[in-house]
Amino acid sequence: MFTHVMIGSNDLERARDFYDATFLALGGKPGEMDARGRLIYIHEGGRLMITTPIDGKPATAANGGTIGIAAMTPDHVLAWHAAGVAHGGTAIESPPTARPNGAFVAYLRDPDGNKLTVRTLPSK
């Protein structure tokens, strides 16, 4: 359905530090900067892009918005959460936990305040 998710940042190097660490924890690769100055992460067929806002105004986090990222195992979720906190993220909601549907989930805010979640797929 989606080709990509684009979020804003006020400090691309700080964002790179955070997102490189969290995507590496999920088995992904570091981001690459394109010719337009956007930081791009490609993982499992999805694309997350981070940029400074083109209108020149400060980047702000979406109120009520959450970006969900898939993880293969609970260990990946735990590693993602730990890497995020160690690289400027803020733990939010509950600690990483199993849900009644069998999914294992964790939540963070990135250094710019964007709300992220990583979860395993629920058991069937």
pLDDT band at 61 (very low <50, low <70, confident <90, very high): confident
pTM listed for this prediction:
0.90
Average pLDDT, the chain: 93
Q: Is the pLDDT of residue 8 over 70?
A: yes
Q: Provide the pLDDT for residue 124.
A: 57
Q: What is the pLDDT of residues 73-124, one digit of tens each?
A: 999 999 999 999 999 999 998 899 999 989 999 999 999 999 999 999 876 5
56-63: long-range pairs with CB below 8 Å, 24+: 58/10, 59/7, 59/8, 59/9, 59/10, 59/112, 60/8, 60/113, 61/109, 61/112, 61/113, 61/114, 61/115, 62/114, 62/115
